[in-house]
Structure 1
Amino acid sequence: MQDNTTAFWPKVWWSIVDYKIGIIPLPIFLILFAVIAGFALTGKVPSDILMSIVLLSMGGFTCAELGKRIPIIRNIGAAAIFATFIPSYLAFHQFLPASILDSVREFTKDSNFLYLFIACIIVGSILGMDRAVLIKGFLKIFIPLAAGSVAGAIVGTLVGVLLGLGAYHTFFFVVVPIMAGGIGEGAIPLSIGYAQILHQPQGDLFAQVLPPVMLGSLTAILLAGTLNYVGKKYPHLTGEGRLQPGENEELEGEEEAAEARVDTATIGAAVVTAVTLYLIGALAQRLLDFPAPVVMLMIAVALKLTRAVSPSLQVGAFHVYKFFSTAVTYPLLFAIGVAMTPWDKLVAAFTLTYVITIVSVVVTIMTTAFFVGGWLKMYPIDTAIVTACHSGQGGTGDVAILTAANRMQLMPFAQIATRIGGALTVTVVLIVLTQIG
């Protein structure tokens, strides 16, 4: 009896505790399930950070674990897709208690959770890059991005015409929304511009341009996951998160000494640094109407190139990046699914002609970037994945696409594809529509 008790406690129990759903130990997961259910039964689930940490973690990692365990599709980004679209489906059909949905929506709306994540990912990944390669990558990525956009617009419009959608409708209401940079920075300003030029209600136009954004992002997630799988089979085509050969961590020579100086205070300093850069960007957006993530990105690049950040703080920023990419990605996707991904709009795009047209646009963008990237001596798969973010759902799409591809370190380049590429697309298209509208 004593031997059996000793055998179970503590070693068997420890093995149970060490079994995790995502990052959550199984006993803690079960306890939290009961606690959240208790709150839900009272009719009010708090939307503060304490409840949100556990609620989003449980939802996000549960959906991701389901995706990781389904054969075949687990290799093409199912974890990211499940973590985003299962909660969207559950929320739309109200299969989750209203108190839980309200808690997630309130927290996501009020906390600016998405931009905390993007700030820490961008600053951490940039500060870990080689300075010389960083600037080359930023300059080079515009070429496959531009080539893919032009090719995608031409092919997508031709496919739409062949399927009977008409050139005008296909280009302005299917192709352009896909490449507009998401919802907040793309579909909304695009629909406002369309409304002013075409003298139609903005709400009606927004309802037309939103479905291609949603389905285009889903297509990009699937293709990015597929490319990650292809990269495992053909490693010479991918840098596993590097854009071009020769990229090495600049900190390799200094990292051992810096690592010894990195403590919890330094990691905390890195978080504050990342948030500070974002807030500078937010202020610039308010004063100059320039996207905050792009301003933050440019400042981070300038700090890296001028060696203004010490090696220890750079390593601290990299630790922050690793923490957010590991522990926060799936909870964030769950929040995005509940609060920012309307299931009905996604389903509305699932007509055969729309699906074929939208898929042709995204496939063409990524295929063009794949071959142009190879021509520029960049890694074709990583270049195509970055360019895929031009077809994503803004910052939320970037997170999902890079998660599916297991290449979160490409976030700085993804932001260029999404923010700058989207802004240029919207601006040019509205100018063209003014001339012909």
Structure 2
Amino acid sequence: MHNAESLARPAVAGSEPRRNALFWRLMDIRISFIPLPVYLLLLGLVAGLLLTKEIKADLPTMIAIIGLGGATCGEMGKRLPFFGKIGGAAIVSAFLPSYIVSLGWVPQDIITPVTTFTKSSNFIYLFVSAVVVGSIFTMDRNLIIKGFAKIFVPLLVGSVLALLAGIAVGMLCGLELRQVLFFVIVPVMGGGLGEGAIPLSVGYGEILGMDSGKILAQFLPIILLGNLVAIMACGALDLVGKRFPHLTGNGRLQMIELLQDATAPGVEKEKRFDSDTVNQVIAAGMCAITLYLAGVLLHALFGLPGPVCMLFIAVLLKLCNAVPQQLEAGAQVLFKFFTTCVTYPLLFANSIAVTHWSELTAAFHIGNVLTITTTVLTLVLTGLVIARKMGMFPIETAIVNGCHSGLGGTGDIAILTAANRMQLLPFAQISTRIGGAITVMGALLILANLPPV
């Protein structure tokens, strides 16, 4: 997806009959990850199904539709002037479909099945499971705990500074202290929709005696705008990393990881990347599903966030040397497949099914915009500044901190896609889920003990 070619490679002379040369050249032209002839054929078939009202929410049809939509949006965003270099593909995939739906340009016969499929299948959790397993299983076991322990320091410092800076800017813009703190800053850092906005709205409703549905409606545009700012900020960090290579580990969080890669024998690295087989990839996929179901069960039994449970089980397996090298190789192929071919379709589907354009535009009050921007940028800049003291790369640390203002799992995916750092998803999940849970619990405790207005 990120290496799509706009020009066809010349056919090797004599390798194919002359009558096939043009077709192979056309197959080398990609719309994101789809070869041009296949893209055009799929487009025609979907149009035919639409005219005959045969579009259903089944898996093959939905793969075709969201694959086409995601590939188109990704390709468009990648080619935007300036924005294409700071995460334009992720921004377009995450927000353009919602906008054209609001204009009435998308037929209801497409909106309804895509929404049904996205909400009923929960395939975002399949994505998160595959990427988390791929990331954790291919990390060095001796560096995992150090990385997870270290990330809490910039996250905590960044959260406190972002809170103070956001309050100051919000009050300068004329917002009341309670409004800017509990209804702007806390929702932005609350961990997204399911683990953040919904528990917050229910808690606020009980404490303040208000309708939780109305409170949730206020939160949604704030969260969406915060996620958009984080996408753009982290996309810009990718550019900074390319301009100043000494600031980035290119997806590695800790400096010691780069040193270890440099001293690792070349034979071992080659073996690790090339030993994958179909069976190993299938095994890694089933392992990802198993860990996801374990997270679901632990959530049902103890109320802990499922993705966080899954993440810690994966870390535990790695630390206990329970992941053989063959499974690591399969997990790496699985990781590459999902990050290359599933990211933009996932963002496209969620944009149609979940993101409502009217809710996003409702947040464009100058006070909200400045407060949200200040909060997100403070998180990011704090990670950038204190990373070196923690033995971590500034760009990667800043991106993980930025995920604290993400829209849950979908937000993390959009942010990391814009930053070209999907390897950081396990750390982003810590930032979003655990950081968000602490923010929500703290806000509810404080609000419950404040005197009524």
Interval of TM-score (by shorter of Structure 1 and Structure 2): over 0.9
Amino acid in structure 1 at the alignment position of 2:345: P
After superposition, the Cα gap between the structure-2 partners of 1:126 and 1:156, relative to the gap in structure 1 and judged at 3 Å, is: same
Deviates more, 1:108-117 or 1:259-268: 259-268
Contact map agreement 1:259 1:312 (CA 8 A) in 2: no
Contact map agreement 2:162 2:378 (CA 8 A) in 1: yes
Compute the displacement of 1:52 (Å): 1.2
Compute the displacement of 1:252 (Å): 6.6
Match of 1:309 in 2: 323
Match of 2:130 in 1: 120
Deviations 1:405-436 (A, max 9, x none): 00000000000000000011000110000000
Q: Secondary structure at the match of 1:246?
A: helix
Match of 2:398 in 1: 384
State, as a whole percentage, how many aligned pairs show the same letter: 49
Match of 2:57 in 1: 47
Match of 2:407 in 1: 393
Contact map agreement 1:280 1:296 (CA 8 A) in 2: yes
Distance 1:257 1:127 in 2: 15
Match of 1:263 in 2: 277
Instruction: Tell me the TM-score normalised to structure 2 length.
Output: 0.93
User: Aligned pair 1:66/2:76, yes or no?
Assistant: yes
After superposition, the Cα gap between the structure-2 partners of 1:310 and 1:171, relative to the gap in structure 1 and judged at 3 Å, is: same
Deviations 1:13-52 (A, max 9, x none): 2101121101111111111111111111123411111011
Distance 2:35 2:20 in 1: 15
Question: In the TM superposition, what are the counterparts of 1:417-432 in structure 2 within 5 Å?
Answer: 417-432=431-446
User: Aligned pair 1:137/2:144, yes or no?
Assistant: no
User: Aligned pair 1:194/2:204, yes or no?
Assistant: yes
Compute the displacement of 1:261 (Å): 4.8
Deviates more, 1:279-288 or 1:10-19: 10-19
Match of 2:12 in 1: none
Distance 2:173 2:33 in 1: 47
What is the aligned length? 432
User: Aligned pair 1:285/2:299, yes or no?
Assistant: yes
Q: Give the counterpart of 1:371 among 368, 381, 385.
A: 385
Contact map agreement 1:389 1:401 (CA 8 A) in 2: yes
After superposition, the Cα gap between the structure-2 partners of 1:337 and 1:251, relative to the gap in structure 1 and judged at 3 Å, is: farther
Compute the displacement of 1:375 (Å): 2.1
Amino acid in structure 2 at the alignment position of 1:194: Y
After superposition, the Cα gap between the structure-2 partners of 1:99 and 1:77, relative to the gap in structure 1 and judged at 3 Å, is: same
Q: Give the counterpart of 1:35 among 32, 41, 45.
A: 45
Distance 2:271 2:78 in 1: 37
After superposition, the Cα gap between the structure-2 partners of 1:251 and 1:93, relative to the gap in structure 1 and judged at 3 Å, is: farther
After superposition, the Cα gap between the structure-2 partners of 1:11 and 1:313, relative to the gap in structure 1 and judged at 3 Å, is: same
Compute the displacement of 1:262 (Å): 2.8
Match of 2:179 in 1: 169
Structural RMSD (CA) = 1.5
After superposition, the Cα gap between the structure-2 partners of 1:258 and 1:7, relative to the gap in structure 1 and judged at 3 Å, is: closer
Contact map agreement 2:137 2:318 (CA 8 A) in 1: yes
Q: Give the counterpart of 1:322 among 307, 331, 336.
A: 336
User: Aligned pair 1:108/2:122, yes or no?
Assistant: no
Q: Secondary structure at the match of 1:243?
A: coil
Compute the displacement of 1:135 (Å): 1.0
Instruction: Tell me the TM-score normalised to structure 1 length.
Output: 0.96
Deviates more, 1:146-155 or 1:90-99: 90-99
Match of 2:8 in 1: none
Contact map agreement 1:254 1:311 (CA 8 A) in 2: no
Compute the displacement of 1:134 (Å): 1.2
Distance 1:268 1:251 in 2: 28
Match of 1:3 in 2: none
Distance 1:385 1:257 in 2: 30
Distance 1:94 1:281 in 2: 39
Deviates more, 1:225-234 or 1:42-51: 42-51
Amino acid in structure 2 at the alignment position of 1:126: I
Match of 1:276 in 2: 290
Amino acid in structure 2 at the alignment position of 1:94: G
Match of 2:350 in 1: 336
Distance 1:410 1:103 in 2: 32
Deviations 1:42-84 (A, max 9, x none): 2341111101111111101101111111121111100000011
After superposition, the Cα gap between the structure-2 partners of 1:251 and 1:206, relative to the gap in structure 1 and judged at 3 Å, is: farther
Distance 2:51 2:442 in 1: 52
Structure 2, unmatched stretches of 5+, are 1-15
